[in-house]
Amino acid sequence: MAEFGISEPSGVATESKIVYSYTQNVIGNYSVITTTVQQRRTNSYTTTGTFAGTRSIDGTAYSFSWYGSYSTSWVTLASGSKTVYHNADGSKTVTLATTYSNSGTSQAGTYSGSANITLPKIDRTAPTFTTHSVNNVTTTSITINRVNNVACDQVQYSLNGGAWTTTTTGATYTISGLTENTSYTIKTRARKTSNQVWGESSTLTQQTHPNTVGVSQVIVTPLSTSSLRVDVVTNATSASDSVLTGRVHNIFITVNGSTQEATQYKYNLGTGQYADAGYFVYEGLTDNTTYIADVTVTTARSYVDTDAQGEGTTPPADFAKLVLPNGTVTGLRPMYMIDTAGIKTRLIDSDITVLPPS
């Protein structure tokens, strides 16, 4: 509680004041203000009479009329409350006032007083997005990463500028039921728990994947004079280095009449994108022989891509030995060297020393 004094008529032995208090509602952005007009004698005499006038809060006047006796103890002439809404930014200054009068007693005259009171500012700041990005894309869905700077109790998204749709409050949410190979704009908004103020993200633009999946690379690598590794890299890509997009159902590789299902993994394209890929190692092959790898890729909707091929040759039995930068001697021409720390380094011709056949 707080208070301020009221001006009394000249010559009266009276002290008067307004006592005020308030409670604030952060979510509603308002304060409930209560004012009380009080008065007492400054000597031991007693006054009996009527005191009538108005008590006002933020421009709203409330009439009162009080009749009674008072001496040196405070008596309440009037009291009441008003709900006052704050400005959009949470600030608010109000005027509290009273004017009343008495006649026919030794305390007759007009009493008045007012004060401008600045209330504590209510937090009206909106949440901001520290993360708002595409997490994963399929032919019919888009998953969004969302992180806010404060706790939020509701999250919604708008697709192509349409109505807001409520979704999960977790760090990711998925929009499903989309059309394949179609571009969408996505906006997210979140409601701050403490004050129920909404904050909006920037707009993302993302295209769903087409239903078809193609092959971008077929890499055939000799592992020995009798074995080849075939890697198939598709055009199904995402920003995840570990989670497959789900667009590829199966990858089948046929070498020398043997069809095998490839083990799928994520292939680093070196651009911040990772492609769905698969590999299989063929053994028991003939040295110094060229083999054709035929590739078939299927999707969950049974689309088949059978146009891809790769070619590789097993080294001859007397193939020259190669010395890698780490001292390893091999009969292969590897694309990469992996050191003891597991770091993969791409090799170039100048890195390799060629030894004659033994």
Distance CA 157, CA 146 (A): 11
User: Which tens digits make up the pLDDT trace of 249-258?
Assistant: 889 999 999 9
Tell me the percentage of the chain whose pLDDT exceeds 70.
86
Taking alpha carbons only, the member of 241, 257, 175, 10 closest to residue 109 is: 10
In the prediction, which pLDDT does 306 show? 64
Q: One-letter amino acid identity for 335?
A: M
Distance CA 202, CA 185 (A): 10
| Between residues 353 and 259, the one the model is more confident about | 259
Question: Domains of the chain, with CATH numbers?
Answer: 2-118 (2.60.40.1470), 129-207 (2.60.40.10), 215-313 (2.60.40.10), 321-355 (no CATH)
Tokens representing residue 154 in the block: 């509701």
Asked if 321 contacts 329 with a C-beta cutoff of 8 angstroms, the reply is: yes
Please tell me the chain's helix, strand, coil percentages from 3-state DSSP, rounded to the nearest 5.
Answer: 0, 60, 40
Distance CA 232, CA 308 (A): 9
In the prediction, which pLDDT does 272 show? 86
In the prediction, which pLDDT does 117 show? 98
In the prediction, which pLDDT does 278 show? 93
CA distances from residue 30 to 19, 86, 93, 104, 124 in whole angstroms, order as listed: 20, 5, 12, 42, 11
**Partners of 108 in the β-ladder:** none
Distance between terminal CA atoms of the chain? 99
Asked if 33 contacts 58 with a C-beta cutoff of 8 angstroms, the reply is: yes
Q: One-letter amino acid identity for 68?
A: G
In the prediction, which pLDDT does 104 show? 86
Whether the per-residue pLDDT at 39 is higher than 50: the answer is: yes
In the prediction, which pLDDT does 143 show? 94
For 70, list phi and psi in degrees, rounded to 5. -150, 155
Distance CA 188, CA 337 (A): 45
User: Which tens digits make up the pLDDT trace of 127-169?
Assistant: 999 999 998 888 789 999 999 999 999 999 999 999 999 999 9
Q: How confident is residue 271, by pLDDT bands cut at 50, 70 and 90?
A: confident
Q: One-letter amino acid identity for 306?
A: T
Taking alpha carbons only, the member of 308, 220, 231, 228 closest to residue 276 is: 231
Whether the per-residue pLDDT at 356 is higher than 90: the answer is: no
Q: What is the DSSP string of 140-204?
A: S-EEEEEEESS-EEEEEEEETT--EEEE--SSEEEE-SPPTT-EEEEEEEEEETTT--EEE-PPE
Whether the per-residue pLDDT at 317 is higher than 90: the answer is: no
Write the CB contacts of 1 (distance below 8 Å, at least 6 apart in sequence). Answer: 19, 20, 21
Write the CB contacts of 87 (distance below 8 Å, at least 6 apart in sequence). Answer: none
Mean pLDDT (the chain, rounded):
87
Distance CA 119, CA 136 (A): 48
Q: How confident is residue 43, by pLDDT bands cut at 50, 70 and 90?
A: very high
Q: How confident is residue 319, by pLDDT bands cut at 50, 70 and 90?
A: low
Asked if 143 contacts 174 with a C-beta cutoff of 8 angstroms, the reply is: yes
Distance CA 5, CA 112 (A): 9
Give the burial class of 283: count Cβ atoms within 10 A of its Cβ; 0-12 exposed, 13-18 middle, 19 or more buried.
exposed
In the prediction, which pLDDT does 308 show? 83
Q: How confident is residue 346, by pLDDT bands cut at 50, 70 and 90?
A: very low
User: Which tens digits make up the pLDDT trace of 71-95?
Assistant: 999 999 999 999 999 999 999 999 9
Q: How confident is residue 197, by pLDDT bands cut at 50, 70 and 90?
A: very high
Asked if 110 contacts 101 with a C-beta cutoff of 8 angstroms, the reply is: yes
Taking alpha carbons only, the member of 99, 67, 97 closest to residue 82 is: 97
- Please compute the mean of the pLDDT values over residues 209-235 and round it to a whole number: 86
User: Which tens digits make up the pLDDT trace of 298-316?
Assistant: 876 556 666 688 888 888 8
| Between residues 348 and 23, the one the model is more confident about | 23
- Please compute the mean of the pLDDT values over residues 16-35 and round it to a whole number: 97
User: Which tens digits make up the pLDDT trace of 96-120?
Assistant: 999 999 998 989 999 999 999 999 9
Distance CA 288, CA 266 (A): 31
- Please compute the mean of the pLDDT values over residues 201-211 and round it to a whole number: 88
Q: How confident is residue 244, by pLDDT bands cut at 50, 70 and 90?
A: confident
Whether the per-residue pLDDT at 332 is higher than 80: the answer is: no
Question: Considering only 93-102, 196-205, 264-273, 340-349, which range has the smallest mean pLDDT?
Answer: 340-349
In the prediction, which pLDDT does 337 show? 44
* Global pTM exceeds 0.75: no
